Structure 1
C-alpha cells in the first residue's frame, strides 16, 4: 500500500484494509454457499442485476387495485405480471455513492436484499485506498445477540472486527469522521430502544454515518422505523433480462431452453432464491426425479427427495425406518403449522430417536433450552426449507413471537 498520499493515522488505514479483506470474504462466502447446493462444479455464480425501485411505498388502495387488476388477467398475462420491469433506477454501486444517509432496502423473502448489500461490500472492498472510510456489515440472523450490545466500541470491534493496533485512534477517527462510515444491518426484525443498534438507526450515535437496513415489508411498521425519513428502495428481484442472464450462466443450453419454454417456471425465477433452486433441480440429472418441476412445491419435494436419496442408507430396512420417520415428521409439522407453531415439543420419544439417527437429513434441529436453574429440555424444531441463505435454516426454539406470523405452508 502506497502511504505517500494517505491522510490520517496509519492504524486507521491498516484497519480499513482489514475491513476490506473481511468484506471480500463475506461476499465470497455467500457465493460459495450458493454453489454448495449445485452439483455442476463448472457453475460460476456472480452477481446478476436486480430491479431496485426507488419510487416509494404504494398506498394500500393502489396495492389492492393492482391485485384485483392482476387477478382478472388470463393465466399467461398474470404470470408475466409477476416479473418486474427493469427501469434502470439504481444499482448497488450507486446506492454506495449516494449522499443519502439512511437507506431502507425492502423486499419479500428470497428476493435478493442480501445479494444487493453483499454486492455493495464487494464494490467497496475493490476500490482504491485514497479515501479513508469504513464499512461494517452485520447479519442480524447470524448474530441474534447483537441487540444486547450497548456500546459502539463493542459493536464495531468485538462483534465485527477489532483493529490490530491503535484501537483508540481508530475509534476516535470513526467518531470524528462519521460521514466516511457505512453500517449495514441485514435482516432486521425488532430492535430494543436501549440497543446501540437502535441508537445508530435513530442517529443518536454517528449522526453523519450512512445506515443501510434490509428488512421484509411487515417490519416497516415497527416502532424503531416509524418516522424514519430515508431513501426507500424496494428489491423486486430479476427482470426478464435478469432471469435470462442468470439462467444462461448457470444452465446448459438444453436446460435453459426448457425453462424458456415453460412460462410458469420462467416467471418463478424472478425470485433469485427460486432461480437458484431451479438451477439446483436441473443438477439432479443422475436421479430418478423430474429434473424440471414447475411449482414451488415440486421444487421443494425434489430437493427433499434428493437429500434423502443421497443421505439415507441403501438397505431396505434402513430406508423404511427413516421414511416412516419422515412421514410422521411431515404430519407433525403440518399440524404444528396449522396451529401457527413450529416447535414440535409433542413428538413421541420413538420418533425423536429415529430423527436423531436420521440427523443427516438436514431439516431437523435438536435445541437445548434452559428451562430452569438445573433442568434442561431438548425440543425438536422443524426447519422450513425456505430461508434467505439457502435451503435450510434453524427456527428459534421459542417459536414465533406473538407479533410475528408463522411461515405459511408452501402451495402451488
Structure 2
C-alpha cells in the first residue's frame, strides 16, 4: 500500500515560493525509506490494489482513454487524401515552466524585434528547445498543472498524449484518470454532483458503483482530472473540483488560453506554457507527413515560421499533400491556407472535381457562404467555434 499512502512524487523543479513551504512539511517518503520494507513477490497484486469492481472500472477508463486518444489522431489523419494518410502521433513540444514575462519585458522584446530584418524577425517566433519536460514527467508529478498557450499550439495534443501514456501504463497501481473536453459543455453543465460528473459524463462502472465512488473519494490522491479548454468555471461541480472542495487531493490538469488563466485560478498550480514546435521538431514533422514535398515548406521561411504552431503545421501538410492544379500556387500565408481548406470542403460536399465547376458552385452559393462566414467571424471574436445563433434553415441550405 506504499504508493497509495505516499502518493505521487514531484519530478519537476520546485518554484521558490513553494520550496520554502515544502521544507516545513514532514517528509513521509524519507521516513518510510529508513525501514527495510520489501515488496512481497508472493502477494496477490489485486489485494494490494483494490477491489474487483475498482480494478475493472480502471480498466474501463483506460480503454476509453485509449479510444479518445486514437480518435483524436484519426481525425487529423483523415484530413489527408485517401492514398496519402501519414501515421500521425504526438510530436515533441516546447514546454516552459518559467514564470510569465512582465509587461515591461514584453515591450522591450517587441521594440527589439521591430529593428530586426524580416528574416531574423520571423525566426524569433520559432521557440527554442528547452531542457526537456516530457508528458510522462508531467503525468508523474504530484503538482496540479495549468497548461497555457495560444489556440492550436498543442495543449490538447499534450493532454491526449498523457491520456495515452496512462492507458498504456502497467496496472500495478489502482488510479483513475478522467478527461473532460470543456468545449462540449452540455453534459458537463447538467452534472449536479461528483457522481454525475464522473459517471454520467465520462463512464459508469458496470458493477459496484457505490464502492467505486467511495474508493475515488477516499483515495482522491490517486485521481487525475483533465479539464481541456476551460474558459470559465460556470459549472458548479467543476468549480468545486478545481477549488478542491471535492476530491481535495486529486491532481488537476487544466488547459486554457493565457487571457483566461488569471481569471480561473487562485490555487497552487504549476504553470506550463506550451510554445509549440521547435525548428528541429518542424524538420522531423514534414518528412513524416509530406515525404518528398517537404522541401517546399522547409525552404520557405514564412511557412517554416508559421508551422511552429502545430495546427498550422497540420494545415500546411494537408494543403501540400492535396492535388492542386498545376497553375495554382502553393499557399504561403494563413489566409491562403484557410482559402484552400474552404475550397477543399466545398469540393468534397458539392462533388465538383473540376476547378471551373467548383468556382461556379461557389458563385451560386455565395450568399449562404458569406452568411456562414459572418457567423464564424462572430464566433471567433467570442472565442468559441460553436455557432449557437446559426439559423437551422441557413445551415441546412448551405454547403457546409
TM-score, shorter chain, exceeding 0.5 = yes
State the secondary structure of the residue aligned to 2:365.
Answer: helix
Distance in 2 (CA, whole Å) between partners of 1:189 and 1:96 is 23
How far is the alpha carbon of 1:292 from its aligned partner?
2.9
Distance in 1 (CA, whole Å) between partners of 2:359 and 2:332 is 28
State the Cα deviation string for residues 328-354 of structure 1 (Å, max 9, x = none): 63378459948968979799x9xx67x
In structure 2, what is the equivalent of residue 217 of structure 1? 258
In structure 2, what is the equivalent of residue 96 of structure 1? 139
Distance in 1 (CA, whole Å) between partners of 2:55 and 2:281 is 37
Residues 1:115 and 2:157 are matched in the alignment: yes
Tell me which of 154, 170, 174 is aligned to 2:196.
154
Matches within 5 A, 1:310-325: 310-312=348-350, 314=352, 320=360, 322-325=362-365
Question: Structure 2: where are the runs of 5+ without partners?
Answer: 1-41
How far is the alpha carbon of 1:317 from its aligned partner?
8.6
Residues 1:61 and 2:99 are matched in the alignment: no
In structure 2, what is the equivalent of residue 43 of structure 1? 86
In structure 1, what is the equivalent of residue 44 of structure 2? 4
Distance in 2 (CA, whole Å) between partners of 1:346 and 1:141 is 17
What is the root-mean-square deviation in Å for CA atoms of aligned residues? 2.8
Contact 1:50–1:237 under 8 Å retained in 2: yes
Tell me which of 267, 287, 309 is aligned to 2:305.
267
In structure 2, what is the equivalent of residue 128 of structure 1? 170
Matches within 5 A, 1:280-295: 280-287=318-325, 290=328, 292-295=330-333
In structure 2, what is the equivalent of residue 330 of structure 1? 370
Distance in 1 (CA, whole Å) between partners of 2:308 and 2:111 is 21
Distance in 2 (CA, whole Å) between partners of 1:4 and 1:143 is 42
In structure 1, what is the equivalent of residue 12 of structure 2? none
Contact 2:241–2:248 under 8 Å retained in 1: yes
Matches within 5 A, 1:185-204: 185-192=227-234, 195-204=236-245
Q: In the superposition, relative to structure 1, how do residues 124 and 328 fare at CA in structure 2: closer, same or farther (>3 Å)? A: closer
How far is the alpha carbon of 1:67 from its aligned partner?
2.0
State the Cα deviation string for residues 151-172 of structure 1 (Å, max 9, x = none): 1111111110100001111111
When normalised by structure 1's length, the TM-score is 0.78
Residues 1:300 and 2:338 are matched in the alignment: yes
Tell me which of 71, 80, 87 is aligned to 2:114.
71
Distance in 2 (CA, whole Å) between partners of 1:197 and 1:170 is 20
Contact 1:49–1:242 under 8 Å retained in 2: yes
Contact 1:281–1:291 under 8 Å retained in 2: no
Distance in 2 (CA, whole Å) between partners of 1:122 and 1:238 is 20
Distance in 1 (CA, whole Å) between partners of 2:56 and 2:43 is 10
Q: In the superposition, relative to structure 1, how do residues 336 and 157 fare at CA in structure 2: closer, same or farther (>3 Å)? A: closer
State the secondary structure of the residue aligned to 1:141.
Answer: coil
